[in-house]
A = this chain, B = another copy of it.
Amino acid sequence: MLRNSNMRWRLPLICFVWEIAMIVLFGIFVRYNDEADPHWPIFMKHENITSDIENDFYFRYPSFQDVHVMIFVGFGFLMTFLQRYGFGSVAFNFLLAAFGIQWALLMQGWFHTFVNGKILIGVESLINADFCVGSVCIAFGGVLGKVSPVQIMLMTLFQVTLFAVNEWILLNKLHVIDAGGSMTIHTFGAYFGLTVAWILSRPKLKQNNDKEGSTYISDLFSMIGTLFLWMYWPSFNSAISYHGDAQHRAAINTYCSLAACVLTTVAISSVVNKKGKLEMVHIQNATLAGGVAVGTAAEMMLTPYGSLIVGFICGIVSTLGFTYLSPILSNKLRLHDTCGIHNLHAIPGLIGGIVGAVTAACATEGVYTAEGLKKMFHFEGEYADRTPSIQGIYQAAGIGVSLAFGIVGGTVVGCILKLPIWGDPSDENCFDDDVYWELREEDEEEHLGAA
């Protein structure tokens, strides 16, 4: 029996009701912060700022736009490698991100910029909302092609909520550093997505392996996503670092790590193939692992060669994961991970957390200057006495918390999504746009150039 995957009432209802809820909540809570409000000139005088150029907008807007491209074009096109699921990949990613950023502005606002009953937003809020949604895009990669848009919307709602709580615990309670989100975005997002994918597993899915493959053209579309992610990752990891040297350094470290990662990805891709031929899936994904793994430490004194080492290792680990680990997970654990987020986000995310913990623990005043050390790790107020080695321990704890949030949260949300009322596709319709998209008759047969 074919399930009822007709979206006609469920999807519109969710979109309308939730968007109206957003409007009401924004109306009650969301206002501009001092730098986006006409009171800015008064704020300038008060803060002794002499030029408009010191508005945070000019420090962060270029990075924001790069991050924005990563979320919508980067993740959206990266997932178009599926030959018959290009519309779903790029457009459902679009939908979830457009909803997710609104909800994230609220959730993160309540935790971080809630003043006198109002959430005050500015360019940094937009970046943080995009970051939060990034974790949903990651999780979406695990269930790609196997869920309905209604399930995607539900997952987004819950995951953004959990993200905000986890982030708050890490940043405000454990007081850890995670500017590029190795822990909050990648570890949490990937393990959340993998757990959901595991709970929604479809034991009989294997028949339609043909639809799950890529074609020559779909692989090229996917490379658009890869390259925009790769190129703009320095902006991602530096977008919310503190002004000046930290933003500068985070961009340099990420640039270095990503460059090294490409070489080891190519090396492993060639060596694991009998004829030494490269596989596009490795180039599309594992080359990005270096960016994930410097997410926590990018703004620290990781040094350029330290960054190269991280990228070097991640290219190897990630490519080996695609080659050897994914088949095992799929066959032995019934963990079907459409985009291989385990190899691209989960393991590199964990590595990134560890790299961050070690780099933090090794920090010295000699390297950072006394003032710099305080500034870097916010050793102020109640944390004034924290030492780098203690900081390292808290950083490590942050990995555990993110992992736990991902797995426990993913379990709960996975069970909710498993209810048979959300219109998910039958096994034979997985990875096929035809279920949720109005296609021309020819296109139903002839997708992305597949004969």
Residues of A whose CB lies within 8 Å of any CB of B are 6-13, 15-16, 18-20, 22-23, 26-27, 30-32, 35-42, 50-59, 61-63, 65-66, 68-69, 72-73, 76-77, 80, 86-87, 90-91, 94-95, 98-99, 101-102, 105, 121-123, 126, 149, 213-217, 219-221, 223-224, 227-228, 230-232, 234-235, 243-245, 247-249, 251-252, 255-256, 258-264, 266-268, 270-271, 273-280, 283, 287, 301, 303-305, 308-309, 312, 367-369, 371-373, 375-376, 436-440, 442-443, 445-451
Contacts and interface: CB of A to CB of B under 8 A. Distances in A.
Contact of A220 (B13, B102, B221, B446): B221
Given A15-B267, A277-B7, A443-B215, A55 B244 contact: yes
7 contacts: A13-B267, A23-B309, A30-B303, A53-B59, A95-B262, A98-B259, A122-B252
Contacts of A7: 270, 276-278
B267 A53 contact: no
Contacts of A271: 8-9, 12
Contact of A231 (B30, B69, B214, B446): B69
Contacts of A256: 26, 102
Nearest to A14: B267
A287 B8 CA distance: 19
Contact of A223 (B11, B12, B90, B367): B90
Contacts of A371: 41
Contacts of A267: 11-13, 15-16, 19
A261 B94 CA distance: 11
B12 A268 contact: yes
A16 B264 CA distance: 6
Contact of A9 (B258, B276, B304): B276
Contacts of A449: 217, 446, 448-449
Contacts of A27: 303, 305
A277 B73 CA distance: 23
A303 B53 contact: no
Contact of A437 (B252, B280, B369): B280
Nearest to A39: B369
A301 B38 contact: yes
B52 A51 contact: no
A385 B245 CA distance: 38
A227 B94 contact: yes
A437 B248 contact: no
Contacts of A369: 38-39, 41-42
A224 B76 CA distance: 10
B244 A11 contact: no
Given A40-B244, A220-B221, 7 more contacts: A11-B276, A15-B263, A35-B245, A65-B235, A80-B220, A98-B263, A216-B439
Given A436-B277, A449-B449, A245 B36 contact: yes
A121 B256 CA distance: 11
Contact of A72 (B35, B51, B227, B266): B227
